[in-house]
């Protein structure tokens, strides 16, 4: 899949998608040191551009005809570690949506902090993405369950043209590892505890058998007198006895490989690039989920509530309900895992498949019926969700 990354930074997200099997044809960022480090490690296809200049960059992206656009618009205006107002950086989320509307890739992936989900900028961007025809999966992923030794929780929005919303949510959950990745999985430290400057009133000392906290620019700072005089009550040992990770060790925690080099930038800038990066193992996991769905190797999971609805609202027996769910899954496999924004389009696509045309008339009817029932259940879910939201708004206003 031809891939473009916007706001590429030093290249963590590109590295992960390359490892998953994507073809990175172009990357853009407005920060010169980040682009230089990207070019030194990932590839020469990174370019320095002000991504606020939609009129210049937009036609360039469209001409490249990407299959997917990925990227993490600047998050400092959303982050609880930074400003609490929406400023120029937050507006770049809108620019990301504009680029999607111009280039029209089949897929996109946008990463940001969780707080972005409640912002006006994201509401505007989301509206543009929906108007452009994208179905959206909005998931908060904890990197420690995707091969990264830190409890970094970030919003990932995956979009695909013509899909229903939440089409990839179950596949992202299924891609989680069996256990959290911990510090000792990435670093062999003689000290069994590490210190990281805590945010707000958080804990400063952690065992190497735990994940590291989310890496921030200040993660390599030594404990200050204020913390030493008033340590967190859950610290297992005094902060002075714990290791303070070096820049290169923090880069490992963030998913950069051992052979990664930082030829350009001050020490502060490099720490900022590390903190800003999308960890490559997490990006690789997300990319793998997308490629599997693109190849039709996975299908969306049907929630258990569908079986209950069939029994309660349709009067089906338990066995009949299971049969309907099985038929719905069979139809979805014939569709290569793809969902559709309307039932008519879904059935039209199903009827166009060679495997469906080879089935008996009875089986074809059963598959159509299963898709209709599933669409009816989804519509009722949306109506109930909207009613609850309206009721909550009225209560808040009362």
Whether residue 190 sits in one domain with residue 135 = no
Q: Is the pLDDT of residue 76 over 80?
A: no
Q: Is the pLDDT of residue 218 over 70?
A: yes
- CA-to-CA separations, 1 to 18, 28, 276, 383, in angstroms, rounded: 10, 18, 25, 36
Whether residue 238 sits in one domain with residue 112 = no
SS3 149: coil
**Does residue 300 fall inside a structural domain?**
no
314 labelled catalytic: no
How many percent of the chain have pLDDT more than 70?
96
Per-residue pLDDT reduced to its tens digit, 304-327: 799 999 999 999 999 999 999 999
**Does residue 365 fall inside a structural domain?**
yes
Q: Rounded mean pLDDT of 328-345?
A: 96
**Does residue 270 fall inside a structural domain?**
no
Whether residue 209 sits in one domain with residue 152 = no
Whether residue 285 sits in one domain with residue 251 = no
Q: Is the pLDDT of residue 87 over 80?
A: no
pLDDT of residue 323: 97
Per-residue pLDDT reduced to its tens digit, 119-139: 999 999 999 999 999 999 999
The two structure tokens encoding residue 197:
């400057």
Phi/psi at 338 (5° precision): -80, 140
Whether residue 250 sits in one domain with residue 115 = no
Whether residue 15 sits in one domain with residue 163 = yes
Whether residue 362 sits in one domain with residue 245 = no
pLDDT band, residue 392 (cuts 50/70/90): confident
Task: Tell me which residue range forms the domain holding 201.
Answer: 183-260
Lowest mean pLDDT among 68-72, 270-274, 281-285, 388-392: 388-392
Whether residue 171 sits in one domain with residue 100 = yes
**Does residue 271 fall inside a structural domain?**
no
Distance (Å, whole) CA 370 – CA 99? 37
pLDDT band, residue 84 (cuts 50/70/90): low
pLDDT of residue 382: 84
pLDDT of residue 155: 97
Closest CA to 159 of 151, 149, 169, 170: 169
Q: Rounded mean pLDDT of 254-280?
A: 96
**Does residue 267 fall inside a structural domain?**
no
Q: Rounded mean pLDDT of 82-97?
A: 74
Q: Give the 3-state DSSP-derived string for 277-318, with helices as H, strands as E and coil as C.
A: CCCHHHHHHHHHHHHHHHCCCCCCCCCCHHHHHHHHHHCCCH
Strands (E), the chain: 2-6, 23-29, 46-48, 68-71, 107-113, 134-142, 153-161, 193-195, 205-207, 243-244
| Active-site choice (8, 75, 314, 328) | 75
Per-residue pLDDT reduced to its tens digit, 154-196: 999 999 999 999 999 999 999 999 999 999 999 999 999 999 9
Whether residue 167 sits in one domain with residue 284 = yes
Lowest mean pLDDT among 197-201, 229-233, 278-282: 197-201
Please, are residues 47 and 30 in contact by the beta-carbon 8 Å criterion? no
Q: Is the pLDDT of residue 79 over 80?
A: no
Burial of 371 (C-beta count, 10 Å sphere; 0-12/13-18/19+): buried
pLDDT of residue 212: 97
**Structural domains counted in the chain:** 3
**Does residue 269 fall inside a structural domain?**
no
DSSP-assigned beta bridge partners for residue 26: 4
pLDDT of residue 86: 57
Own/partner contacts of 266-274, CB < 8 Å, gap of 24 or more, are: 268/217, 269/33, 270/33, 270/37, 271/217, 271/218, 271/219, 271/220, 271/247, 272/217, 273/9, 273/10, 273/33, 273/34, 273/37, 274/10, 274/215, 274/217, 274/247, 274/250
Whether residue 390 sits in one domain with residue 247 = no
Q: What is the CATH number of the domain that holds 117?
A: 3.40.50.150
Closest CA to 17 of 257, 278, 279, 284: 284
pTM of the full structure = 0.93
Whether residue 128 sits in one domain with residue 37 = yes
- Chain centroid offset of residue 288 CA: 12
Whether residue 80 sits in one domain with residue 29 = yes
**Does residue 152 fall inside a structural domain?**
yes
**Does residue 78 fall inside a structural domain?**
yes
Q: Based on C-alpha coordinates, what's the Rg of the chain? A: 23
pLDDT band, residue 85 (cuts 50/70/90): low
């Amino acid at each position: 899949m031809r891939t473009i990354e916007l706001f590429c930074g030093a290249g963590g997200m590109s590295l992960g998608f390359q490892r998953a099997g994507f073809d990175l044809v172009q990357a853009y960022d407005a920060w010169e040191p980040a682009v230089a480090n990207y070019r030194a490690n990932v590839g020469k296809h990174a370019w320095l551009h002000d991504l606020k200049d939609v009129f210049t960059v937009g036609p360039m992206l469209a001409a490249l005809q990407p299959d997917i656009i990925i990227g993490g618009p600047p998050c400092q205006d959303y982050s609880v570690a930074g400003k609490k107002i929406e400023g120029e950086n937050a507006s770049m989320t809108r620019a990301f949506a504009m680029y999607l509307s111009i280039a029209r890739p089949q897929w996109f992936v946008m990463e940001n902090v969780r707080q972005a989900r409640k912002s006006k900028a994201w509401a505007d961007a989301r509206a543009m993405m929906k108007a452009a025809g994208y179905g959206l999966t909005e998931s908060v992923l904890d990197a420690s369950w995707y091969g990264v030794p830190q409890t970094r929780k970030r919003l990932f929005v995956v979009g695909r043209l013509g899909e229903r919303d939440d089409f990839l949510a179950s596949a992202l959950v299924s891609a989680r590892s069996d256990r959290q990745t911990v510090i000792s999985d990435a670093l062999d430290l003689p000290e069994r505890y590490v210190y990281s400057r805590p945010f707000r009133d958080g804990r400063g000392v952690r065992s190497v058998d735990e994940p590291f906290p989310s890496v921030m620019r200040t993660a390599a700072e030594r404990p200050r007198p204020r913390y030493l005089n008033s340590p967190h009550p859950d610290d297992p040992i005094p902060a002075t006895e714990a290791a303070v990770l070096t820049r290169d060790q923090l880069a490992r925690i963030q998913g950069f490989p051992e052979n990664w080099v930082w030829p350009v930038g001050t020490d502060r800038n490099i720490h900022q690039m590390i903190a800003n990066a999308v960890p490559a193992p997490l990006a690789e996991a997300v990319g793998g989920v997308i490629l599997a769905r693109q190849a039709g190797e996975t299908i969306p999971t049907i929630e258990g509530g569908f079986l209950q609805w069939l029994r309660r609202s349709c009067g089906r027996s338990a066995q009949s309900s299971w049969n309907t769910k099985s038929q719905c899954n069979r139809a979805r496999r014939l569709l290569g895992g793809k969902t559709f924004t309307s039932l008519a389009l879904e059935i039209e696509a199903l009827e166009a498949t060679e495997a469906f045309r080879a089935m008996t008339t009875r089986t074809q009817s059963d598959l159509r019926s299963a898709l209709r029932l599933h669409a009816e259940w989804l519509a009722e879910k949306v109506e109930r969700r909207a009613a609850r939201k309206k009721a909550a708004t009225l209560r808040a206003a009362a």
